Structure 1
Amino acid sequence: MIRRPAFKCLRYLCLLKGQYEKQCAFASICFTTLKLTPVCSWQGEPPFPKKSQIIELPTDGPTCSHGPMLKIVDQTSRSFHYACSAFRDKGECEKQDLYQSNTLRNWSSEDILGISQSDRAYCYTCDCLFSLSLSGQKHEVHEYRKNLSDNLLGMPSYLLKPLENSKAHAQYFFSLDTLNRLYSIIQKLSVDYVICIGSPRLHDFIQLQHIHRGQLLDSYLLDMDIRLSSFYHPHRYSRYNMVNGFFFSRTEEENFHHFIKNNIKPDDKCSIFCDPPFSAPLSLIVKQINSIIQYISSFQSTAIYDNYTLLVTKNNCKSLNQNDIPYLLVLPFFFEKKLQKIAPFLNLLDYKITYENHSRLDCDITDNRNHRDLTNKIGDHSNRGQRRDSIVRLFTSLLPSLVHPPKSIEKCFRFCEICQRYSHITNLHCPKCDRCTTKHGPTYVHCDKCNRCRPAKKFHCDQCKHCVSINQCVHQSKRKKLSYNTSDNL
Structure 2
Amino acid sequence: MAAPRERLEIVEAEGSSGSLGSSAAEVVLPSDLATPAPMCPHGPTLLFVKVSQGKEETRRFYACSACRDRKDCNFFQWEDEKLSEARLAAREAYNRRCQPPLSRVQCVERYLRFIELPLSQRTFCQKCQQLLLPDEWEDHPGHPVVSNVSVTQLKRPSQLLYPLENKKTNAQYLFADRTCRFLIDLFSSLGFRRALCVGTPRLHELIRLKASGDVKFNLKSLLLDIDFRYSQFYMEDSFCHYNMFNHHFFDGKAALDVCRTFLQEDKGEGVIMVTDPPFGGLVEPLAVTFKKLIAIWKEGQRQDDNPKELPIFWIFPYFFESRICQFFPSFCMLDYQVDYENHTLYKHGKTGRKQSPVRIFTNIPPSKIILPVEEGYRFCPLCQRYVSLENQHCEHCNSCTSKDGRKWSHCFLCHKCVKPSWIHCSICNQCALPDHSCKGPKDGCFICGELDHKRSSCPNISTTKRVNKAARKQKQRKSNKMKMETTKGQSMNHTSATRKKKRRERAHQYLCS
TM-score by length of 2: 0.70
Q: Is the CA contact (8 Å cut-off) linking 1:84 and 1:93 kept in structure 2?
A: yes
Cα distance in 2 for partners of 1:468, 1:170 equals 30
Q: Could you say if the C-alpha distance between residues 101 and 464 of structure 1 is closer, same or farther in structure 2, counting changes exceeding 3 Å? A: closer
Q: For 2:240, which of 215, 238, 241 is the aligned residue?
A: 238
Deviation of 1:293 (Å)? 2.2
Paired residues for 1:90-489 under 5 Å: 90=70, 92-93=72-73, 98=97, 100=99, 108-131=110-133, 133-165=134-166, 168-214=169-215, 215-249=217-251, 250-260=253-263, 264-266=265-267, 268-301=269-302, 311=305, 320-321=307-308, 324-363=309-348, 374=349, 387-406=353-372, 408-409=374-375, 412-473=376-437
Q: Aligned AA for 2:379?
A: F
Aligned residue for 1:405, secondary structure, equals: coil
- SS of residue in 2 equivalent to 1:186: helix
Q: Distance in 2 between matches of 1:119 and 1:406?
A: 44
Shift of 1:88: 2.3
Cα 1:150–1:442 change in 2 (3 A) is: same
1:83 paired to 2:63: yes
Contact kept in structure 2, 1:70 and 1:82, CA below 8 Å: yes
Cα deviation for residue 440 of structure 1 reads 1.1
Amino acid at match of 1:389: Q
8 Å contact kept, 1:276–1:330:
yes
Distance 1:65 1:98 in 2: 9
Matched residue of 2:246: which SS?
Answer: coil
Distance 1:279 1:457 in 2: 26
Displacement of 1:388 in angstroms is 4.5
Distance of 1:260 and 1:196 partners within structure 2: 11
For 1:78, the aligned partner's letter is T
What CA distance in whole angstroms lies between the structure 2 residues aligned with 1:449 and 1:156?
53
Counterpart mapping for 1:2-41 below 5 A = none
Which amino acid letter does the alignment assign opposite residue 199 of structure 2?
A: G
- Residues 438 and 444 in structure 1, CA contact (< 8 A), matched pair in contact too: yes
Q: 1:285 to 1:416 in 2, by over 3 A?
A: same
Distance 1:103-1:194 versus aligned 2 partners, 3 A rule = closer
Cα deviation, residue 202, structure 1: 0.5
Counterpart selection for 1:64 from 40, 43, 47: 40
Deviation, 1:462, is 2.3
**CA distance in 1 between partners of 2:407 and 2:138 (Å):** 60
**Structure 2 vs 1, CA of residues 240 and 348 (structure 1 numbering), >3 Å: closer, same or farther?**
same
| CA distance in structure 2 between the partners assigned to 1:49 and 1:130 by the alignment | 50
* Secondary structure in structure 1 of the residue aligned to 2:113: helix
1:127, distance to aligned residue in structure 2 (A) = 2.1
- What residue identity is the alignment partner of 2:254? T
- State the distance in 2 between where 1:161 and 1:421 align: 38
Alignment partners' CA distance in 2, 1:290 and 1:463: 42
Deviation, 1:72, is: 0.5
**1:53 is the counterpart of 2:26:** yes
Cα deviation for residue 137 of structure 1 reads: 3.0
C-alpha contact 2:124 2:130 (8 A) present in aligned 1: yes
* Separation in 2, partners of 1:151, 1:49: 51
The amino acid across from 2:29 in the alignment is E
Aligned partners of 1:398, 1:98: CA distance in 2, in Å? 43
Structure-2 separation of matches of 1:165 and 1:77:
30
Is the CA contact 1:185–1:406 (under 8 Å) kept in the aligned structure 2? no
Instruction: Measure how far apart 1:55 and its partner are.
Output: 3.7
Letter in 2 for 1:64: C
| Distance across 2 between alignment mates of 1:146 and 1:49 | 52
Shift of 1:97: 5.8
| Partner amino acid, structure 2, of 1:110 | L
Asked whether the equivalents of residues 168 and 278 of structure 2 are also in contact (C-alpha less than 8 Å), the reply is no
Give the greater-gyration-radius structure (CA).
2
1:347 shift after superposition: 0.4
RMSD: 2.8
Partner residue in 2 for 1:486: none
Work out whether residues 179 and 339 of structure 2, in 8 Å CA contact, stay in contact via their aligned partners in 1.
yes
Counterpart CA distance in 2 for 1:67 and 1:222 is 15
The SS at the match of 1:272 is: strand
How far residue 441 of structure 1 moved from its aligned partner, in angstroms, is 4.0
Change in Cα spacing, 1:283 to 1:87, as seen in structure 2 (3 Å) is: same
Q: Partner of 2:9 in structure 1?
A: none
TM-score (norm 1): 0.73
Q: Mind listing any 5+ residue stretches in structure 1 that lack a counterpart?
A: 1-47, 303-309, 313-319, 364-373, 379-383, 476-490
Amino acid at match of 1:327: I
CA shift for structure 1 position 349: 0.4
Q: How many residues align?
A: 388
Residue identity in the other structure for 1:326 = P
What is the distance in 2 between the residues matched to 1:283 and 1:267?
A: 26
The residue identity in structure 1 corresponding to 2:328 is A
For 1:472 and 1:216, locate their aligned partners in 2 and report how far apart those are by CA, in whole Å. 52
Please tell me whether the aligned partners of residues 167 and 279 of structure 2 are also in contact (alpha carbons under 8 angstroms). no
The Cα of 1:350 is off from its aligned counterpart by: 0.3
2:237–2:258 contact (8 Å) kept in structure 1: yes
Instruction: Map Cα deviations across residues 344-365 of structure 1 (whole Å, 9 max, x no partner).
Output: 21100000101110001112xx
User: For the residues of structure 2 that align with 1:244 and 1:204, how far apart are their CA atoms?
Assistant: 24
Going from structure 1 to structure 2, the CA distance change for 1:291 and 1:101 (only over 3 Å counts) comes to closer
Aligned mates of 1:165, 1:283 — CA distance in 2: 20
Alignment-mate amino acid for residue 26 of structure 2: Q
Equivalent pairs: percent with the same residue? 31
**Greater Cα offset, 135-144 or 192-201:** 135-144
Q: Which runs of 5+ in 2 are unaligned?
A: 1-20, 75-93, 440-513
Quote the Cα distance in structure 1 between the aligned partners of 2:363 and 2:143: 46
- Does the CA-based 8 Å contact 1:360-1:389 persist in structure 2? no
Report the residue type matching 1:393 in the other structure: R
Whichever residue aligns with residue 445 of structure 1, its letter is: S
